Chains A and B, each alone.
Chain A
Amino acid sequence: GIQVEQSPPDLILQEGANSTLRCNFSDSVNNLQWFHQNPWGQLINLFYIPSGTKQNGRLSATTVATERYSLLYISSSQTTDSGVYFCAPPEDGNEKLTFGTGTRLTIIP
């Protein structure tokens, strides 16, 4: 099955800083989703981004499918951005998402 690696595993930043989270995957994909799991455990879908770039407020994501990676950018971090960020490409181009190991982001006031 598809292998998914996320980096860095942990990131601690001061409020207001910018960050880039990376997701590498081993196979070609035609879909990729980014999720945020907040400290209370809720999983929120951030982006559905098979290719190109999308922006939503302070967050944006870019997927370069041909090079098998995706990036999540967070600008002007806030404490509410803390949590674990997962990328999840599908396996075999179907709806079965394979989750990466996540990046744990901690924003310090």
Chain B
Amino acid sequence: DTAVSQTPKYLVTQMGNDKSIKCEQNLGHDTMYWYKQDSKKFLKIMFSYNNKELIINETVPNRFSPKSPDKAHLNLHINSLELGDSAVYFCASSQSASLNTQYFGPGTRLTVL
């Protein structure tokens, strides 16, 4: 029973394409996050949703659009993929939006050719 799951695990695509990454958590948490980890292992938050509402929106290109159909799911859609988008994308969740332990998914390795 995976607590935070992501699909797909690997994604290889051409520049200019549009792709989506899905995330689901079965922990009953209210808050979900997307992080990006670059090739140097630097981890940075991109978005956070609390009960389906956007609460953190870092300075990311508007080609990235998160969508939360319900509080157990947070998907990430990326338009017009660029080479620099290649990275590992992690989804995470926490019980609430205030200072709780965050649990991470296994990551999605995106490679843009």
A interface residues (Cβ-Cβ under 8 A, vs B): 30-31, 33, 35, 37, 41-45, 48, 50, 84, 86, 88, 90, 93-97, 99, 101-102
B101-A45 in contact (CB<8A): yes
Q: With the chains together, A102 CA to B40 CA distance in Å?
A: 10
Chain A residues near B74: list those with CB within 8 A. none
* Smallest beta-carbon distance B27→chain A, Å: 12
How near does chain A come to B33, taking the closest CB pair, in angstroms?
A: 8
> Which of these, A31, A86, A94, contacts B43 with CB under 8 Å?
A86
CB neighbours of A45 from chain B (8 A) = 101-104
Nearest-neighbor residue (CB-CB) of A91 within chain B: B45
- For B99, the chain A residues whose CB sits under 8 A away are 30-31, 50, 90, 93-95
User: Range of interface residues on chain B?
Assistant: 20 to 34
Q: Which residues of B contact A99 (CB under 8 A)?
A: 42-44
By secondary structure, the B interface counts as strand
B75 interfacial by beta-carbon distance below 8 Å: no
Q: Which residues of A contact B97 (CB under 8 A)?
A: 94-95
Residue contact A96 to B104, C-beta cutoff 8 Å: no
The answer to whether B31 has its CB under 8 Å from any CB of chain A is yes
Does the CB pair A96–B45 fall under 8 Å? yes
Closest 9 CB pairs between A and B?
A: A43-B104, A99-B43, A31-B99, A48-B101, A95-B97, A41-B107, A45-B101, A96-B56, A96-B45
Q: Give Cα A45 to B100, complex, Å.
A: 11
A95 engages B43 (CB within 8 Å): no
CB distance from B7 to the nearest CB of A (A): 15
Q: How far is the CA of A48 from the CA of B101 in the complex (A)?
A: 6
The B19-57 residues at the A interface (CB cut-off 8 A) are: 31, 41-45, 48, 55-56
A34 to B44 CA separation, bound complex (whole angstroms) = 15
Q: Answer whether residue B86 sits at the interface, using C-beta atoms and an 8 A cutoff.
A: no
CB-CB under 8 A for A33 and B104, given A95-B94, A99-B43 = no
